[in-house]
Amino acid sequence: MEPQPSKKIAIIGGGAAGFFTALTLKEKNPQTQIALFEKRNDWLTKVKISGGGRCNVTHFCFDPEELSKKYPRGAKELRAAFYKWQPSDMIEWFSDRNISLKNEADGRMFPITDDSQTIIDCFMEEAEGSQINLRKGFGIENFFLEEAGSFSLKIEDSETESFDALCLTTGSLKGSLLEHSIKKLGHSIEPLAPSLFAFNVNDKRLKSLAGISVPSAEVWIDSKHSLQSGPLLITHRGMSGPAILKLSAWEARNLQNKGYHFDFYVNWLADETEGSIKEQFDRNRDSQGKKTIKNTPLLKLPKRLWESLVEYSKISAETTWAQLSKDLEQTLINEIVSGHYKAQGKTTNKDEFVTCGGVHRKDINFKTMESKYVPNLFFAGECIDIDGITGGFNFQAAWTTGRLAGTAMAQI
């Protein structure tokens, strides 16, 4: 019996999902001929700049149920997928290649070198050692399904090439010719919306407070059903930090529909209740009655933020705790636990440029990441309508979907 010719498989997109799909495929079936295409002149660009150049590889969460709750879109599908490949598997994969990861207090995990180049070098060495055909600077204009079931790829400034299977691991598909090719095959694509962004806020309460942060805040829009919590940072443009970024992710489509002009609310002391704050006010009246309110910051609030909230509540700089009226007390408490702010736009958070939207999840078999309509067409990473909050969750989705796609393609 003659040996079967090795399969030719194309992977479009040289980012995290593309590389891990290719490496998994080569690991599971070394005979496969793999071409990894990237239209840019650099590989793994998001890996390079993520986490401030340290690369937030994944998150220290090993319970698929809990892990899946970190995804505003895709939680249900990823829950089952995480039982097959999750952060603990990723940690072990890197460990087998002599790369150690460390977890920080908030659960984010980084290479122990604190250098994203460590991850990039690992992937590049693995790919080159596996003889994966790395084709940098080759954009794919479109692709066609041939009668025999193979795929013809039209490569920029080059001839058409044929492959037995195809995996899309691009980022955004919106407006590209690839989007047209996918739709022609029966797939629907959810419209894109930015996720993980800071709020632009022009408010006198925040003037000259850039750089001030609180460790535990709550933020919400309209009603508390949207409430998110975590550290909050005041910036030159408004507000950022994990609490804001999480809210932007969960409310991505809602805020896009509002044109990024919306009202929102801030509780600066999430670890306290209105009642406990009121008790602190009463204690200050009794024990510090002669001290001015402006010069006696409450609990964990930074001094300058406290002074700003006191002034905004129309409490004069000379007012003492003994002189504080019940009406002004309630005004100040309201400012602390449910301050009303207006956002007038958004700002991308440093290296975070995640979008929701992409190939509809219902069109994909999440056991294999294969199209439900077209055999041997696969998807992985951000081109799917999946996105996570900040903290390494988006990379984990790329690793997991890439692992499943690579494993399934090895069986073709």
pLDDT of 260 strictly over 80: yes
Q: CA-to-CA distance for 70 and 135, rounded, in angstroms?
A: 34
- What per-residue confidence (pLDDT) applies to 298? 83
pLDDT of 107 strictly over 50: yes
pLDDT in tens, 378-387: 999 999 999 9
Name the packing angle between helices 16-28 and 393-409 (round to 10°). Answer: 30
pLDDT in tens, 13-59: 999 999 999 999 999 999 999 999 999 999 999 999 998 899 999 99
Q: CA-to-CA distance for 10 and 19, rounded, in angstroms?
A: 12
Strand order in the sheet with 101-103: 58-59, 108-111, 101-103
pLDDT of 105 strictly over 90: yes
Domain residue limits, the chain: 8-193+357-409, 197-348
Q: CA-to-CA distance for 406 and 279, rounded, in angstroms?
A: 59
> Which burial class, exposed, middle or buried, applies to 271 when counting CB atoms under 10 A from its CB (0-12, 13-18, 19+)?
middle
- What per-residue confidence (pLDDT) applies to 222? 85
- What per-residue confidence (pLDDT) applies to 56? 96
Q: CA-to-CA distance for 300 and 306, rounded, in angstroms?
A: 10
Q: CA-to-CA distance for 53 and 125, rounded, in angstroms?
A: 20
Q: Does CATH number 3.50.50.60 belong to domain 8-193+357-409?
A: yes
Q: CA-to-CA distance for 404 and 222, rounded, in angstroms?
A: 39
pLDDT of 270 strictly over 90: yes
| pLDDT confidence band for 300 (50 / 70 / 90) | confident
Closest CA to 33 of 170, 161, 182, 178: 161
